[in-house]
Structure 1
């Protein structure tokens, strides 16, 4: 079919994804399997191949004798010890130590295959296996590059003809694939738990199974208040897993998981999500979903404001888990504007870089319309085929509400082969959760919070609250109102509070004593009352309602930094920047070049790129600098560097970004813009990667 012809799969010669599976992969070393992996189904061997088989027999015998478990126990004795370890992130195992552990095993069993030089190269390949990002693969070129293949001990003679050398390369590639898929990856998956975290992009962390089981089991048992164990096998469930945070864990459920070929819960809810989002996105008041909405909230507030503003950023503790479902039906009845809806799905087929691409589009409406009328605003696009008759379905308001309530109240998760029913809160991993959360908090705003703000404004992205006001009393009243809303799931996480008037420096205890919130009105003295038998409480005697306390510091919120004059810059975290790029090993240069437009379009938000922002040029510089740092990461992983390709990337990036700014009506002289781009390129120091 045309759809099948458009999609091309990527062959992963090394099944690196097995390291992240929950089940243990057995270490299976068999001479027959090894011969099939290297020689195929060949039965008659020549003299050189018989010599190779003899070397492989030595390897198989040594592998059968070696005790991987005992070596692991001695090598990671300290990492398996639980003493003085409080947090799971304190127990992460260094990749270099795992690399040395695998290399130690290699020297014990692969002495009949590798010489000294090639052993050193093999150690580097083990580092590639462990240090690559979560979604990066290992291709054939990664496996055999830099090896001196004729020096390997499996070959009887070093010198050979060109045709025989190519045959040796194929044999060695088969051996390396076998070693990685049947030795190294099974050992890692059997003795270590490999996972990404909630804060480190795509970086992989490794924990010994003993340590991971201890901390994860303790966390899950301590947080079972929202779950009830189910003693029957369920046909419909969502697999759950824990991912580490800096101070604990986060429970993630995969509601896109399909059980026994049935549709996943997210797949069933997708059309309802599109309808609900289409109906409510423009009616949200304090909650925002898109960056464009953030810009609209800021511009509406900044029309008649004073220069200095108090800014408070705070988020809710266990946001999804604490939302009571008893109010959900009432909120949904208000949110759906009509009783009948229709979803129309169609596809577009376009050609790009000698490949066909298929994209699926959805249109929400209240009545059925002819297909040509639905796409009349999109027909200006060229070289695109619009394909109809893919999906067409009608929805009823009452049925949708009942289905949402049923899916929220009967959310069953599977964790460690046991089933649990979620009793309270919205499920993590559900496509509807973020939207329902925004609708719920908007409903609470109408009920309790909006009356607090006369001069100021409240902007919220899911559970991240941002309060901006010129009157300190509004912040105090906001904290007073929300302190009594625990029954509604409102409990702030004061460990993540941030402000430009110093309140985060005052909150050193576990929680604020809000009964004395009136004393926050003047900041002159701080009286700390500590009781060793109870939780520490911080009594703040005075907070002064004066703009003298406003500092020039920026407050971080949703990827941005905001100061008292509401000038905004990008908030870029370079700690894990190295792990933000996923290198495509199939046509890497073309793949990276195709992402240029999407990168600049995604980062060119009106909230940072507008004429009223005094940091406009700084934001342009930061976007360029961030992009050129990604180019540097790309070049560090590339097999070779083409200086002409690099110049073309720089030229294309400047052209695309300037066109985007023109489209967004951002007026900046081209010469100034060009100089900013050149300076960012210089500061990124890409030229260090190019051999002169």
Structure 2
């Protein structure tokens, strides 16, 4: 029933519709079917009469015996020994020594190539060491420490080892007869191993379809798929389709209910901040050792544990649910990320999922988008996106004399900005942001054509025929919510038409003239929200952010939730207030001989000024710290284009890092010329091309700010264009290499594109 649910009429991935009220995933979770099976048994006459469920004719005999053997092999398989064999860790050798010895543990380190107790640590990181001699073994346990200079991802299991373990696990559990005999068996098992490796090697956001998975398998001679009375006859078309249907169910079960749970229960699977979309597999015991210290520091500094009674008392009037925290490797440290998009079952019905925290906060987010356009001055030097750098720079240069004077650049990054913002201070500031007593939230849908898989280039020989038979792309529908003052009474069409002329309309829908080939569909859904209720919800979100870590519940006592849909707005408004009160000298005496431009993308500050004293004072103010705003800046992450000393944490002065003479200044992925303010893409950040694959790569690099000849010189524009073509070619090469050789395009076709 678990392997072949379609044959029993159960909910399945092939023909059933997913209930979005019960799951937020693309497909239903089939881990537990007990309730569904119980309902089926109550209507099964044979089960009620004889106590034996009715088995479809197709699954009797060989198929039924193979499923029994699969269950037996699963119970006999020692997965822990398999993982220790195929994915060895320094912990295995050190733990084995700790269990055998009773003497105090001496400090020792596993080094690459060293052999310990028959387990070779070749290709293993020199990152795990035992605790100092002062710590002794108690009750057969051992305390290990991690070398703080080693990147966390070096402790992940190599991809080849993970693939070998999963292939071995499936081989131990799945009977060979499922895949045939003799040559068919060898072919199908080798192909399955390749499919498993390909699946494990996928990057984040990449998918593998069942059609792709099933290609190449030989199923015509599989005994368990044959009818008993076939007698060597060639199967009909319907018979072949039925065999394919059964084999697809088996493959889906192998990957969905065997492979993925095995990987999930053995490894902690995560991406990394510095490796973009590459996936890393950490053994659970290794990840526990890595994360315990980080979680302990987070609990001590940012969280406080709530008692069971306090949680039950707080959950009564609360409208927001729990957050979840996960740790993301970032260099030699772990970065905490909170998940506020997860939906939890409602208290009234545990089978129905309620809205997520971010969904509950959507009205506040819409109101803040409106206030951003009504009063942009409240946000100070905030940049909405990297594209705003171009607008600000171009306007700043237009006010400078020609030739341009000497420009001084200073860049500073606030440490752990979201985690250090004082909660009461930011709430007090946000109380004054709304300018209306109440707001209306209107919703409408925007429908536009989907992107075609290719533009003017067919992958088949018969271009006209393929173009005629190829189905059109599926339309893309997006729901948009827009906030307006409560006295808004204009009809929907007028609001859209005025959106390109008024700042209110831009807050949600954007200018109509920027939505080409789009159909706007009005909705009757609208809500009225009182400002006091919204501010009360915001206060609950900031001061009562409950985080579930295992079975315990913590409250965030410092900072604002980083995964919140409101975190960027809160940070921008708060640091804009800091600019007004502590960096006001940048606007004083702003004349032709002394002009300054302050830019800030969330917590990344950049000052460009013609006054060296202002640049020095700006660097000193930020590096001295602003305790009432929780601002601390590390000199190691700061940068300038001139020599400047700043105070450090120990009360002494240190020299800030500087760019080399004549070099461009990097800021948020853009290189800015220190002499002419010209802009180009920072290609030095585009490392590990294979982990950054995207079909829109060239479009991302083709922003107007890089090709505006009124701001950039022709030589700079051509250099940017050459770099964009080079980066796109590298991505194309990496993308082609990642495809299976049967799916790769012909060289002649690639050259003709």
Shift of 1:605: 3.3
Instruction: Between 135-144 and 413-422, report the one with greater CA deviation.
Output: 135-144
The yes-or-no answer on 1:101 pairing with 2:101 is no
Shift of 1:194: 0.8
- Render the CA deviation track for 1:356-408: whole Å, top value 9, x for unaligned: 54332333322212223212347887773532312132433x44333322321
Aligned pair in 2 of structure 1 residues 341, 604: CA closer, same or farther (>3 Å)? farther
Contact 1:24–1:190, Cα closer than 8 Å, also in 2: no
The yes-or-no answer on 1:44 pairing with 2:74 is no
Aligned pair in 2 of structure 1 residues 155, 80: CA closer, same or farther (>3 Å)? farther
The yes-or-no answer on 1:571 pairing with 2:647 is no
Shift of 1:502: 7.2
**What SS does the aligned partner of 2:57 have?**
coil
Contact 1:19–1:185, Cα closer than 8 Å, also in 2: no
- The match for 2:526 is 391
**What SS does the aligned partner of 1:617 have?**
helix
The yes-or-no answer on 1:201 pairing with 2:337 is no
**What SS does the aligned partner of 2:635 have?**
strand
Quick one: distance in 1 between partners of 2:422 and 2:364?
A: 21
Aligned pair in 2 of structure 1 residues 131, 41: CA closer, same or farther (>3 Å)? farther
Shift of 1:207: 0.4
Quick one: distance in 2 between partners of 1:188 and 1:382?
A: 44
- The match for 1:212 is 287
- The match for 2:370 is 278
Quick one: distance in 1 between partners of 2:700 and 2:77?
A: 53
The yes-or-no answer on 1:559 pairing with 2:669 is yes
Instruction: After TM superposition, list the pairs within 5 Å mapping 1:215-254 onto structure 2.
Output: 215-224=290-299, 225-232=301-308, 233=311, 235=315, 236-254=321-339
- Render the CA deviation track for 1:632-684: whole Å, top value 9, x for unaligned: 5665548646779x97xxxxxxxxxxxxxxxxxxxxxxxxxxxxxxxxxxxxx
Q: 1:295 aligns with which of 368, 390, 397?
A: 390
- Render the CA deviation track for 1:267-286: whole Å, top value 9, x for unaligned: 23212222222223532331
The yes-or-no answer on 1:457 pairing with 2:597 is yes
Aligned pair in 2 of structure 1 residues 433, 513: CA closer, same or farther (>3 Å)? closer
- Render the CA deviation track for 1:259-309: whole Å, top value 9, x for unaligned: 324443322321222222222353233121134532222123222163653
Aligned pair in 2 of structure 1 residues 495, 687: CA closer, same or farther (>3 Å)? farther
The yes-or-no answer on 1:317 pairing with 2:328 is no
Shift of 1:100: 1.0
Quick one: distance in 2 between partners of 1:122 and 1:160?
A: 26
Instruction: After TM superposition, list the pairs within 5 Å mapping 1:408-557 onto structure 2.
Output: 408-452=542-586, 454-482=594-622, 483-501=624-642, 512=648, 515-517=651-653, 551-557=661-667
Instruction: Between 434-443 and 374-383, report the one with greater CA deviation.
Output: 374-383
Aligned pair in 2 of structure 1 residues 486, 422: CA closer, same or farther (>3 Å)? same
- The match for 1:35 is none
Instruction: Between 377-386 and 426-435, report the one with greater CA deviation.
Output: 377-386
Normalized per residue, which structure has more helix? 1
Structure-1-length-normalised TM-score: 0.73
Cα root mean square deviation, aligned: 4.1
Contact 2:448–2:519, Cα closer than 8 Å, also in 1: yes
Quick one: distance in 2 between partners of 1:339 and 1:177?
A: 54
Quick one: distance in 2 between partners of 1:228 and 1:456?
A: 43
Aligned pair in 2 of structure 1 residues 515, 351: CA closer, same or farther (>3 Å)? closer
Q: 2:186 aligns with which of 109, 113, 116?
A: 116
Contact 2:268–2:282, Cα closer than 8 Å, also in 1: yes
Shift of 1:339: 3.7
- Render the CA deviation track for 1:75-129: whole Å, top value 9, x for unaligned: 3332545427435322111111011112233444444445333332222111122
Aligned pair in 2 of structure 1 residues 136, 11: CA closer, same or farther (>3 Å)? farther
Aligned pair in 2 of structure 1 residues 241, 446: CA closer, same or farther (>3 Å)? same
- The match for 1:359 is 478
Quick one: distance in 1 between partners of 2:475 and 2:172?
A: 50
For this pair of structures, how many residues does the alignment match?
580
Quick one: distance in 2 between partners of 1:341 and 1:166?
A: 57
**What SS does the aligned partner of 2:380 have?**
coil
Shift of 1:57: 4.8
**What SS does the aligned partner of 1:137 have?**
coil
Contact 2:327–2:337, Cα closer than 8 Å, also in 1: yes
**What SS does the aligned partner of 1:257 have?**
coil
- Render the CA deviation track for 1:307-365: whole Å, top value 9, x for unaligned: 65333332111101111123224422443334443322223455664645433233332
**What SS does the aligned partner of 2:195 have?**
helix
- The match for 1:616 is 717
Contact 2:681–2:701, Cα closer than 8 Å, also in 1: no
Quick one: distance in 1 between partners of 2:189 and 2:387?
A: 55
Instruction: After TM superposition, list the pairs within 5 Å mapping 1:33-182 onto structure 2.
Output: 43-45=56-58, 50-51=61-62, 53-54=64-65, 57-78=68-89, 80-81=91-92, 82-83=128-129, 85-86=146-147, 87-109=151-173, 110-114=175-179, 115-150=185-220, 161=235, 163=237, 166-182=241-257
Contact 1:568–1:607, Cα closer than 8 Å, also in 2: yes
Aligned pair in 2 of structure 1 residues 120, 351: CA closer, same or farther (>3 Å)? closer
- The match for 1:656 is none
Aligned pair in 2 of structure 1 residues 197, 10: CA closer, same or farther (>3 Å)? farther
Quick one: distance in 2 between partners of 1:10 and 1:377?
A: 46
Shift of 1:153: 7.8
Quick one: distance in 2 between partners of 1:450 and 1:383?
A: 44
Contact 1:93–1:205, Cα closer than 8 Å, also in 2: yes
Structure 2 gaps of 5+ residues are 1-11, 35-52, 93-127, 130-144, 180-184, 316-320, 347-352, 451-471, 500-511, 588-593
Contact 1:256–1:267, Cα closer than 8 Å, also in 2: yes
